[in-house]
Amino acid sequence: MFSADEGDNSNHPQVGTNIGAQRVKNHYWRSAVCLYASAHAHHPEARKILLVNKMPPETIDGYDYRSLLDRFNVELVEFDSITRPPEGYHTGWNTQFIVIDALETLWRKVSPTSQVMLLDSDCLFVKPVDQEIIDRVKKLGVLQYTLWDADDISENGLTNYELAELGREYSDQVTTDVIKYAGGEIFFGDYKALESVIKEARRAYDISIKRNSKGLKKFNEEAHLLSYVYHLVGGKDYSANDLIKRIWTDRSLYCTVNGEENNLTIWHLPAEKKTSLRKMYQILGRGGDYFTDIEKCSVFFNVTATKLSLFKMYLRNQARRLVKVYRKLKS
């Protein structure tokens, strides 16, 4: 949980600019409590660490914040370092590479026998991580949440083709024409993989900063960088896609709910920070419990498929297919 200084105008689309404003930071603080409440409900035995650069407020919405963390056995651990690229590196958003600091800090805090999961604060566990997933981590080392099937979709300035093109410039170990885009909301791997990812991520970040100073194309954000790093360390595309999903729930703007979300273990709900996650925080603040019933979670967190949302998704997918066909014909 990175807490920006007052007046920091970095742009985070879900909460607006000026991420240093306390009202904006509180969206993340509230979400973090919900994440740890959900983790504690399904994995009370797991070690839970909240990484911070500043201590949380004493109270949010009138509820004792530290008492809530204590209730769910959450350890507060300060980052060992903070990595932020220079101003203007990529749009107005420059907190993206703090994930490297988070991984480095965790690596120093956990045992070599650990499996480590790092999540965005607006994620929730809706069921326990099953043994098959745990065994998969043992086998693969690290899991990868792949976001796009189409390789020509530009995400934060780069397509999957461009990720591979850059990867070949960063390292002669990269020979592929495509590197799949991996969502940055989750890292899940064993200690050895964590160590390898940190080493390659720090190296890739340093290269990116040098390229930026020369006006060259570079990895713009953490998911670009991690996608490249996962490729280097032998990650497997889609290996976390039955574990987690980035779910957009705003029916008026963009909705990706398809009715299959209850098969997942973790929901990432970026559009819910101001709404249902805030409501859940207040329920927890009043002494209530996190919902362990997945059907109740579906309704409360707006993860329910409607005919309208499914139709909109169908239209969007058809439009993407048409664009892909058009580009092939044009080339």
Spell out the domain ranges in the chain: 22-330
How many CA atoms within 13 Å lie on the side-chain side of 90?
Answer: 24
Mean pLDDT of 223-248: 98
Please report which confidence band the pLDDT of residue 318 belongs to, taking 50, 70 and 90 as the band edges.
low
Please report which confidence band the pLDDT of residue 5 belongs to, taking 50, 70 and 90 as the band edges.
confident
Res. 307: pLDDT tops 60 = no
pLDDT of amino acid 70? 98
Please report which confidence band the pLDDT of residue 315 belongs to, taking 50, 70 and 90 as the band edges.
low
Integer Cα distance of 28 and 273 in angstroms: 7
pLDDT of amino acid 317? 60
Q: Considering only residues 83 and 307, tell me which one the structure prediction assigns the higher pLDDT.
A: 83
Please report which confidence band the pLDDT of residue 251 belongs to, taking 50, 70 and 90 as the band edges.
confident
Mean pLDDT of 72-77: 98
Please report which confidence band the pLDDT of residue 252 belongs to, taking 50, 70 and 90 as the band edges.
confident
Mean pLDDT of the chain: 91
Mean pLDDT of 13-29: 77
Q: Is the pTM of this model over 0.75?
A: yes
Res. 161: pLDDT tops 80 = yes
DSSP assignment letter at 263: G
Please report which confidence band the pLDDT of residue 93 belongs to, taking 50, 70 and 90 as the band edges.
low
For the chain, the farthest-separated pair of C-alpha atoms sits apart, in whole angstroms, at: 60
Helix (H, G, I), strand (E, B) or coil at 273: coil
Res. 244: pLDDT tops 80 = yes
- Angle at CA 86, nearest 5°, toward 80 and 91? 115
Mean pLDDT of 41-58: 97
**CA dihedral of residues 166, 167, 170, 174 (deg, nearest 10):** -140
* CATH architecture observed for domain 22-330: Alpha-Beta Complex (3.90)
- Angle at CA 138, nearest 5°, toward 164 and 231? 5
DSSP collapsed to 3 states, 97-159: CHHHHHHHHHHHHCCCCCEEEEECCCEEECCCCCHHHHHHHHHHCEECCECCCCCCCCECCEC
Contact 152, 159 (CB under 8 A): yes
Please report which confidence band the pLDDT of residue 275 belongs to, taking 50, 70 and 90 as the band edges.
very high
Mean pLDDT of 101-119: 97
pLDDT of amino acid 283? 98
